[in-house]
Amino acid sequence: MAGAHATQSPSWRDARAGLRDIAPAAIAAIPIGLLFGAVAVSKGMSALEVGLMSVLVFAGGAQFAAIESWIQPAPILTLAFATFLINARHILMGASLSSKMTLSRPQKLAAMFFMTDETWALSERRARERPVTGAYWLAMGVVLFANWVLMTTLGAVLGSFLGDPARLGADFAFTALFIGLVAGFGRSRVTLVTVAISAIVAALVHVTVGAPWHVASGALAGIAAAYWAAGWKTRE
């Protein structure tokens, strides 16, 4: 008995826990990755560009937002700003997780490349009982990363054979996906006010000024509305 367990190092045990915890998220990401690749190709990206974006950016929300309003040539500053807005939550996530990881500063700098909503949330949950080790973190991060890169690239390759995605309603898939994601942020009054203001301002700006200004103006109006609504709530 003792011999059998001695062959299983703590790192291996943590890595296996990471694989077990991340499995549902990785499976759920398969069709979403395929969809991303297929729609990206329909917007004029090559499969190689899709793969490169997934390898280097590795952030589903930012990639979806970029491709939804993708035009040629790519508006670099607009994309960078939208990416910052969407990923700004990483700053708070990293700040919260930092002290719970048993890693040196240089190791953390490398490990943080793999931070996603899923790996962060699972690590915060695990940190309530034990520290988050490099083996646990990397097992989750590498699986999600490889899964995302493979599936988005495969979707891009398959998508070029499918033709016009509007024919199958696939152009609406992102809209539906985003609505589903927004619902995941809850139904508090602050969230509802944020969603309503952001939608109205973005739609108005898109009609009057045009793309891509609706993203930043709608988002900033929604964020301001949340700040306003949060104060309004505490006064009651």
Minimum distance between the CB of residue 91 and other proteins, rounded to whole angstroms?
5
Minimum distance between the CB of residue 27 and other proteins, rounded to whole angstroms?
10
- Restricting to residues 174-213, name those near other proteins by CB under 8 A: 174-185, 187, 190-191, 194-195, 198-203, 206-207, 211
Q: Which of 150, 158, 162, 173 binds other proteins (CB under 8 A)?
A: 173
CA–CA separation, 172 vs 3, rounded Å? 56
Q: Which of 3, 6, 99, 164 binds other proteins (CB under 8 A)?
A: 99
**Which is nearest to 120 in space by CA: 29, 41, 53, 22?**
22
CA–CA separation, 178 vs 171, rounded Å? 12
Q: Which of 82, 138, 139, 149 binds other proteins (CB under 8 A)?
A: 82
Backbone angles phi, psi at 101, to 5 degrees: -100, 135
Q: Which of 11, 16, 94, 147 binds other proteins (CB under 8 A)?
A: 94
Q: Which of 20, 84, 125, 130 binds other proteins (CB under 8 A)?
A: 84
CA–CA separation, 203 vs 213, rounded Å? 10
Residue type, 150: L
User: Is residue 235 a contact point for other proteins (CB under 8 A)?
Assistant: no
User: Is residue 86 a contact point for other proteins (CB under 8 A)?
Assistant: yes
User: Is residue 107 a contact point for other proteins (CB under 8 A)?
Assistant: no
Which of 16/43 has CB closer to other proteins?
43
- Restricting to residues 36-75, name those near other proteins by CB under 8 A: 45-49, 52-53, 56-59, 61-66, 68-69, 72-75
DSSP 70: -
CA–CA separation, 79 vs 85, rounded Å? 10
Contact mark string toward other proteins, 132..171, x via CB under 8 A? ------------------------------------xxxx
Number of helices (H), then strands (E), in the chain? 12, 0
DSSP 164: -
Which of 3/184 has CB closer to other proteins?
184
* Secondary structure, 3-state, 96-135: HHHHHECCCHHHHHHHHHHCCHHHHHHHHHHHCCCCECHH
